[in-house]
Amino acid sequence: MECFNINIITSKGMLPVRLGIKGGRMASFSTIGAADVKPSLALIPSVIDMHVHFRDFDQRNKETVASGSKAALAGGISAVCDMPNTIPPVADKKTYLRRQDLFSKDSVCDYLINFCVFDEYSMSQAASVDPFFIKVYLDETTGSYILDEALLEKVFMLQKPIALHADHSGMRKAIKFSKKYSTPLHICHVSTKDEVMLIGKHKDNNITCEVTPHHLFLSGIYDVKPALCTKNDRDALWAALGGVIDIVASDHAPHTSDEKEKGAYGVSGIEAMLPLMLTALNRGQISYETFYRCMHANQKRILHARGRDFGMDGGSRADFTIVDFGDSYTIDAKNFYSKAKHSPFDGMSVDAKVVETWVRGMPFFKDGEVVSGARGKEIGRK
C-alpha cells in the first residue's frame, strides 16, 4: 500500500490527512497534524471536465484525442466527457463505436462518450448505444447539428440522459419535457441571470446545469457561443455557483489560430479551468464549500446517478490532483498541451499550479510531463 501525507480540500477547508492507496483505490484515510504536511500543497479529489470537444476524426488539425487528453492531465483533470459534434458527428452506432475505439487507443485520461441526435435517423440509432449523454443542440454552434424542435419531445421519450445546448426558450421547452418523462436533463454553459432564474424555478433531482470559466471570469467581446455576458449576469452566475449551478465545465473548444482569428466559436480552456477556480478560492471569491461542490461533489453525484464509478470516497477510485499554492504563474497559451495555443485567459495571473494528476491510483502527470505508459479508460459502471 502506498501512503502519503497531504492537505486535502474539503467543503470546510484544508484538512491534513494521511492517505493510503492500494489496487488503484482509496484504502485508508486518517487525519493528522498540520505540522506533518507541506503547507502549500493541496489535494483536490476527482476532477472531471464534463464538457470538452476533442475534435479528431476529420479535424485533427484542431485537436486530437491524444493532444486533448494530455491537456486535460496538465490542467489537473483526471477524466473528461467528450461532446459529439465532430466531423463526422457521433450520431450513429458505427461512429459511436469508432469514437470509443479512438479514445481507448489514444486517450491518456479517463473518459465518457456522448452521442448526438439531430434528425430521425440519429434518434433511431440512439436506442442501440449507451452514451453518457445524448447531446441536443437547439441553438447555433460549431457543426450546426441543430435538432428540429418538432422532434424534441421524441428525444425525451427515449428517457436517456440529455445534455442540452439551447437559448432561454429552448431550455424552457426541454425542462417541460424532462419533467413530463422523468428524463435526466443537463443544461450546458448557462450564461445569463435569466437562465439562472428559469432553472432555479424548475430545478429538481433530474435537472442539473453547468457554467464555464469564460462566462464566470470574462466580459466584453470574444467569439464564443453562448456569448460572453454582462457584469450583472456574471454576478448572478457566481451567486448561483454550487447551488442552482451544479458544476464548472470548460467547454474546451479548440480551433486553429487562423480559424480563431476569423471568428470561430470556442475557448481553449481545459488547462486554465482548475487554476482559475483555485485562484478564486484562494482570493476569497468563493468559499471552500462552493469550490468543493462545483469542482468535485456535484460531478460525483451526477456520475453516481448514472451508475458510473467515479468520485473519491473510502474504498473508491483514487483519482485526484495535487496543486501547489506556493507556485503562482501567468497563463501562457503558447505552453498549452492543447493544439489550440490561444486563450482569452492569456496573461492572467493564477495562484496555484498543477503538480500531479492521479488516475486510478497512479500518477499520470508529474514533473510537468505526462507519465510514460499513462492510458485512459472509459469510466465504467459501479
| Distance from chain centroid for Cα 166 | 18
Band of the pLDDT at 19, cuts 50, 70, 90? very high
Edge-to-edge strand order for the sheet containing 79-82?
Answer: 48-52, 79-82, 110-113
Cis peptide before 88 (omega within 30 of 0): yes
Output the pLDDT for position 315: 77
On whether the CB atoms of residues 107 and 138 are closer than 8 A, the answer is no
Eight-state DSSP code of residue 317: B
Run of H or E including 2: strand 2-10
On whether the CB atoms of residues 155 and 123 are closer than 8 A, the answer is yes
Kindly report the CATH class assigned to 2-44+317-370.
Answer: mainly beta
CA distances from 87 to 54, 55, 91, 129, 163 (A): 11, 8, 10, 19, 19
Instruction: Determine the Cα–Cα distance for residues 33 and 17; give it in Å rounded to an integer.
Output: 8
Output the pLDDT for position 142: 61
The pLDDT tens digits for 195-221 are: 999 999 999 999 999 999 999 999 888
Sign of the alpha-carbon torsion through 205, 206, 207, 212: positive
| Residue 314 pLDDT exceeds 80 | no
Q: Which of 246, 251, 319, 351 is catalytic?
A: 251
Output the pLDDT for position 234: 97
Instruction: Determine the Cα–Cα distance for residues 84 and 125; give it in Å rounded to an integer.
Output: 14
Domain with CATH 2.30.40.10 in the chain: 2-44+317-370
Q: What is the mean pLDDT of residues 339-354?
A: 97
The pLDDT tens digits for 263-289 are: 999 999 999 999 999 999 999 999 999
Q: Mean pLDDT of all residues in the chain?
A: 96
Instruction: Tell which residue, 10, 7, 8, has the closest CA to residue 292.
Output: 10
**Is 251 noted as a catalytic residue in this protein?**
yes
The pLDDT tens digits for 41-65 are: 999 999 999 999 999 999 999 999 9
Domain with CATH 3.20.20.140 in the chain: 46-305
| Residue 242 pLDDT exceeds 90 | yes
CATH of domain 46-305: 3.20.20.140
The pLDDT tens digits for 134-169 are: 999 998 766 679 998 899 999 999 999 999 999 999
Instruction: Determine the Cα–Cα distance for residues 298 and 347; give it in Å rounded to an integer.
Output: 30
| Beta carbons within 10 angstroms of residue 71's beta carbon | 30
Output the pLDDT for position 143: 60
Q: What is the pTM of this model?
A: 0.97
Instruction: Determine the Cα–Cα distance for residues 236 and 198; give it in Å rounded to an integer.
Output: 12
For residue 380, the SS3 value is coil
Output the pLDDT for position 144: 72
Instruction: Determine the Cα–Cα distance for residues 100 and 120; give it in Å rounded to an integer.
Output: 23
